[in-house]
Amino acid sequence: MSSFACSVVRYLGVVFVAAALSLPAAGLVQQEPAPQNKDQQPAQKKDDAPLPSTSKEVEKIKDRIIKTKSGTLKISAAELVAETAIVMYGGRAALKAARSSIREEGTIRLATEQGDATGVFTRREVEEAKSWEDLLRTDLELSPPEAARKAGAPTKIKYSLAFNGASVWAAQNDQYITPSPESEAAFRSQLSHDYMSLLRYKEDGSKIELIGPETVVGIDTQVMDLTLPNGEKTRYWISSKSYHILHLEYDLKLPDGSTGRIRVSYYPPYRIVQNTLAPTRIVMEQGGKFVQEITLHSFSYSAKLDTQIFQHLQS
């Protein structure tokens, strides 16, 4: 396997390999979604109703949550923030129905030891009882950077990585390969450390703790820690205005005992898909260095997926 191929296999699925990272983060700035003209908004399906977006609507939602749970039930400050975010993303019922099975497609820019690779990205996922049990598959078709092509890498390389509910398997150019323990740990970490993990905190039995307000690049946020039943933690930065999840960070623990700090940022514009909110641009860094950027342009929620695609290479 070429050095470029080895590098991509390590990175596929936000894999942490500190020595392989060479590009600094390109001064990325988180912004709130700017108001769009009607002709600039992505087309919505008939069943895609607008989600609440104004500060007044947010306050009404918070009041409704408090009133609903007043009296015999009490709600903590952390729960109020999390429950408001859940409503802003569509609500539990809509999220459960829409994201039971999903297919997302887009483009990817991926850091490698020989420069940035670019290509097309497909993610398919089937929701199980707990976030970390979800079936997940990522398929890439990449164009290696010029330095890799000059060194003999092909013009296109296909990769697949999947979690079948028990283990992770991988393939390159339609041939199975053995993922390293580091690759498996990193790929599986996506299931536990994602913006949806916060929106499913009750279903997962996770604990949440509100750390407090923090201003990030001029944006007021609420910082929250989520702890999974196994003790793993994720820190979230949630906009105090829109209640969108802007960033998350977590420590990725590798089989050799080492750890790396992973940061994931979610950028506008957002898409409304089956009455739920989905970010379209996702940037990942490790230790302040760029790892990958995914830009999504196609969403199919409540998708009809054959679960065999998570077990075998068949597409």
pLDDT tens for the chain, 315 residues: list them.
455 554 454 444 444 322 222 222 333 333 333 333 333 333 334 434 456 666 666 777 777 677 666 555 578 999 999 999 999 999 999 999 999 999 999 999 999 888 899 999 999 999 999 999 999 999 999 998 888 888 888 889 999 999 999 999 999 999 999 998 888 889 999 999 999 999 999 999 999 999 999 999 999 999 999 999 999 999 999 999 999 999 999 999 888 888 889 999 999 999 999 999 999 999 999 989 999 999 999 999 999 999 999 999 876
Rounded (10°) angle between helices 77-88 and 55-68: 120
The span from the CA of 107 to the CA of 119, in Å, is: 6
Predicted local confidence at residue 50, as pLDDT: 55
Query: Measured between alpha carbons, how far apart are the two ends of the chain, in Å?
Result: 23
- The per-residue pLDDT for 43 is 39
- Ordered domains of the chain (ranges, CATH): 3-18+46-310 (2.50.20.10)
Q: Decide the pairing of beta strands 115-126 and 101-112.
A: antiparallel
What's residue 182's pLDDT? 87
Do β-strands 259-273 and 289-301 pair in parallel, antiparallel, or remain unpaired?
unpaired
Count of C-beta atoms within a 10 Å radius of residue 22: 12
**Structural contact between residues 210 and 279, judged by C-beta atoms closer than 8 angstroms:** no
Model pLDDT, residue 198: 98
Question: Which tokens hold the place of 136?
Answer: 């997940």
Q: Which residues share a beta bridge with 195?
A: none
Q: What's the confidence (pLDDT) of residue 187? A: 92
